[in-house]
Structure 1
């Protein structure tokens, strides 16, 4: 399962099924469909916890380049985007988010995050960039949340060069070539793969 589904329709439709089943006294079926939403929320939290644990159990004041904010590629729609929920968890830990999305405007990103945390926190800890290379300057990690095709073809060697070391990539959409990125020097963590990797400070 990727880092979580979003959008305005799927979760609403699932919750409608929950309501319908409850009105028909089909409690087990209702619980089954409710579990889909709960697992989706759990997956987002689990991914955020992975980021924190693999960044030495703290992201406070660390820069994290968040790649993607739309709920899926080829849209500027952010409704129920996993980026909002993951961003909130990281902001709760006082990470500094450096966000890049090719279509979502800066005001939308900050507005959505302001709904799940305080506007003061967004002002202090969230910056939005028009280039992934700018977003990665002095960042400690890259977190891929939206499956934009361009994220497959970025010059990760160039990104690695401007990041803090050790630099990590957390791939929530199974987009990147793990072997290639590890050869560059990244620590790479992808959904569905082993959680912990040994840290090599002298690649």
Structure 2
């Protein structure tokens, strides 16, 4: 019956492995744990790069040329979110504890800690860009989904950063192509605007936190600057480790 359900996938050349329940369960958990580890690894390296002056994007390219490592997932930024990876690594750790081997997965505690630390770094970076004072500052966040091309906000790094900035006194406006209804429900104390250009009106700081192509195609030197009567400082999520002090016309 199962083979019939997956006939087309099997016929396309996808390998089929028949195994026991325990192995199948751990295979799924292990796959997501490895992906999370790879993401947190490059973000940990990004911290070292930021301190040393090294360029983490180029470093990731170098590592990616090693066939044993590969480039996929080696993109520094805010870390992972969504409904799978955060839940699965914590569930995997809990399962190891149930089996009496919790020490075997202590590495995943650090993976989780690194992931959370990237969000904290973005908050710190925003504070640095605004001379240490967020109170009353107009902050625009491009992105609410945990990744582009979805309306899923579960575990969204972008919204976690937006909410923290609000709690620290910032006036935060969020825009996203697909998730605003969900975001409004989950975070009603933030402001929301449909149009990314209108969202930067009067902004002191722009944070590009979800890599939607709709945002990437906007030229900050024209549309954004025309929309706001005062200088805007801009920080892109994918360049967290590379950002230094910026000026009014910073290009994303």
With normalisation by structure 2, the TM-score equals: 0.63
1:53 is the counterpart of 2:118:
no
State how 1:54-133 maps to structure 2 within 5 Å.
54-106=129-181, 108-114=182-188, 122=189, 126-133=190-197
Counterpart in the other structure of 2:241: 192
Counterpart in the other structure of 2:51: none
C-alpha contact 1:44 1:85 (8 A) present in aligned 2 = yes
Pairwise CA distance, 1:137 = 0.6
In structure 1, C-alpha distance between the alignment counterparts of 2:159 and 2:223, rounded to whole Å: 27
Q: Unaligned 5+ residue runs, structure 1?
A: 115-121, 175-189
Flag the 1:167–1:35 CA change in 2: closer, same or farther, 3 A.
Answer: same
1:155 to 219, 230, 235: 219
Q: Structure with the greater relative contact order (CA < 8 A, sep ≥ 6): 1 or 2?
A: 1
Flag the 1:163–1:200 CA change in 2: closer, same or farther, 3 A.
Answer: closer
C-alpha contact 2:233 2:247 (8 A) present in aligned 1 = no
How many pairs align?
A: 173
Higher Cα radius of gyration: 2
Which secondary structure does the structure 1 equivalent of 2:241 belong to? coil
State how 1:35-50 maps to structure 2 within 5 Å.
35-50=110-125
State how 1:6-45 maps to structure 2 within 5 Å.
6-45=81-120
Pairwise CA distance, 1:199 = 5.1
Pairwise CA distance, 1:198 = 6.4
Pairwise CA distance, 1:103 = 0.5
Dislocated runs of 4+, deviation >4 Å: 198-201
More helix by share: 2
More strand by share: 1
C-alpha contact 1:141 1:167 (8 A) present in aligned 2 = yes
Counterpart in the other structure of 1:119: none
Which secondary structure does the structure 1 equivalent of 2:161 belong to? helix
With normalisation by structure 1, the TM-score equals: 0.78
Q: Unaligned 5+ residue runs, structure 2?
A: 1-75
Cα distance per residue 1:159-184 (max 9 Å; x no partner): 02333544211111x3xxxxxxxxxx
In structure 2, C-alpha distance between the alignment counterparts of 1:22 and 1:143, rounded to whole Å: 39
CA RMSD of aligned residues (A): 2.0
